[in-house]
C-alpha cells in the first residue's frame, strides 16, 4: 500500500508542476491588467493589453483573441490616439478579411506574419463613408488596427519588423 501511495503522490506532484508551468509560459499579454475600451453608447470591453513595437514606435494595444472581441474590434470607438491600437491574434497563419462595419473613425490596418509587416491598408474610411472589405495580401497571424494615417506618419512599410 505504501508503494501505491507514493505513486499517487508522485502523480499529483507531476500534475501540479505541469499546471504551474502552463502559467509561467503564457504570452506576456495574458499577464497584463485589462484596460477598458470605451465605445459609443456606453459600451465597454475589458481586454488585456500588450506593447507592440513597430520600428522605434511603441503602441499599447488591446488584445483580441476571442471571437466576440475580434468581431467587435474597434467598432463603436470614437477616438484612437497614436499610441493605441488593437491587436488581433490568430492561432495559425491564415488569410484574413476585415471590414469597416461599425467603425466610426478612419483607421489603418497592418497585416503581420512571423514578426514582419506583410501588408498595410492605410486610411480606411469609417463605415458611414461606405462599406469596405479588406483582404490580407497573404497568410497572417496578427492584424493591428491603428489610428488613421499612423503608418504614413511613422513610415511603416511591408518588410518592417514588429515585436509582439
> Quick one: pLDDT at residue 2?
77
**DSSP per-residue string spanning 106-160:** -EEEEEEETTEEEEEEEEEPPGGG---EEE-SS-EEEEEEEETTHHHHTT--TT-
pLDDT, tens only, 132-150 = 999 999 999 999 999 999 9
The domain locations on the chain are 27-163
Tell me 25's DSSP state: S
Top pLDDT among 25 and 80 is at: 80
The greatest distance separating any two alpha carbons of the chain, rounded to the nearest whole angstrom, comes to 75
Residue 3 pLDDT level (bands cut at 50, 70, 90): confident
- Looking at domain 27-163, its CATH superfamily turns out to be Protein of unknown function DUF192 (2.60.120.1140)
- Predicted structure pTM score: 0.76
For the record, the C-alpha cell of 120 comes out as 498595410
pLDDT, tens only, 111-120 = 999 999 999 9
pLDDT, tens only, 15-43 = 555 545 444 444 544 444 444 555 555 55
Average pLDDT for the chain = 84
Amino acid at each position: 500500500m505504501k508503494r501505491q501511495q507514493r505513486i499517487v503522490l508522485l502523480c499529483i506532484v507531476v500534475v501540479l508542476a505541469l499546471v504551474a508551468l502552463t502559467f509561467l509560459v503564457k504570452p506576456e499579454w495574458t499577464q497584463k491588467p485589462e484596460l477598458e475600451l470605451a465605445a459609443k453608447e456606453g459600451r465597454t470591453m475589458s481586454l488585456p493589453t500588450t506593447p507592440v513595437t513597430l520600428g522605434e514606435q511603441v503602441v499599447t494595444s488591446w488584445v483580441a483573441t476571442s471571437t466576440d472581441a475580434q468581431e467587435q474590434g474597434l467598432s463603436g470607438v470614437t477616438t484612437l490616439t497614436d499610441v493605441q491600437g488593437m491587436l488581433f491574434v490568430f492561432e495559425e497563419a491564415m488569410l484574413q478579411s476585415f471590414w469597416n462595419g461599425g467603425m466610426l473613425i478612419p483607421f489603418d490596418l497592418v497585416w503581420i506574419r512571423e514578426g514582419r509587416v506583410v501588408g498595410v491598408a492605410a486610411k480606411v474610411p469609417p463605415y458611414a463613408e461606405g462599406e469596405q472589405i479588406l483582404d490580407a495580401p497573404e497568410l497572417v497571424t496578427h492584424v493591428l488596427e491603428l489610428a488613421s494615417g499612423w503608418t504614413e506618419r511613422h513610415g511603416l512599410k511591408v518588410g518592417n519588423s514588429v515585436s509582439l
